[in-house]
Structure 1
Amino acid sequence: MMTDVEREMERKLRAAFDPAALVIENDSHRHAGHAGSPGTGTSHFTVTMASEAFRGTTRVDRQRKVYAVLADELSGPVHALALKLSVPGD
């Protein structure tokens, strides 16, 4: 079951990047009790996404674009975000 944070992240990423593939994994349970983990169950995520919007961009540019779209989440409930970003077919 997706949390509200995951649903909002998915909504924003789909709207901004129209991805060919998008998987959001909630990794929060793996970090329970660690420093920086608030214990909310919505603090650590891995986003795997393939989008034409990334064509011709560097890995760092792709990450910056995603961070900009998810700025509210990163300044609030999301403590850590791992990104695996690609162009479809790569």
Structure 2
Amino acid sequence: MPMQAHEIEELLRETFPNAKIQVEGDDGVHMSAMVIDESFRGMNRVQQQRAVYAALKGKMDGPNGALHALALTTKAPE
């Protein structure tokens, strides 16, 4: 079952409660998200994106995942 933007944001908020989060996309399968959070400070981009994927709790796992593609922008606040 495809995921809606608000569902993705809710999952991300559980892990990143103080982050600036913006999720876009309307087909429920191919989405984009921007996550700006202090916890990313000192992490490289791969580490940041792995943290976001972990926050999605398996929703992108395998061909039967609820979310097929998520374009990510992650960074620490400036």
Q: What is the rounded CA distance, in whole Å, between the counterparts of 2:19 and 2:53 in structure 1?
A: 19
Structure 1: where are the runs of 5+ without partners?
Answer: 29-40
Structure 2: where are the runs of 5+ without partners?
Answer: none
8 Å CA contact retained: 1:25, 1:45 = yes
What is the identity percentage for the equivalent residue pairs of Structure 1 and Structure 2?
36
Structure 1 equivalent of residue 73 of structure 2: 84
Instruction: Tell me if 1:50 matches 2:39.
Output: no
User: 1:21: how far off?
Assistant: 1.4
Q: Which has the larger radius of gyration?
A: 1
**Structure 1: which amino acid aligns with 2:44?**
T
User: 1:64: how far off?
Assistant: 0.6
Question: Number of aligned pairs?
Answer: 74
Which ranges of 4 or more aligned residues in structure 1 deviate by more than 4 Å?
none
Alignment RMSD = 1.9
User: 1:4: how far off?
Assistant: 5.3
Structure 2 equivalent of residue 7 of structure 1: 6
Structure 2 equivalent of residue 16 of structure 1: 15
TM-score normalised over the length of structure 1: 0.71
TM-score normalised over the length of structure 2: 0.80
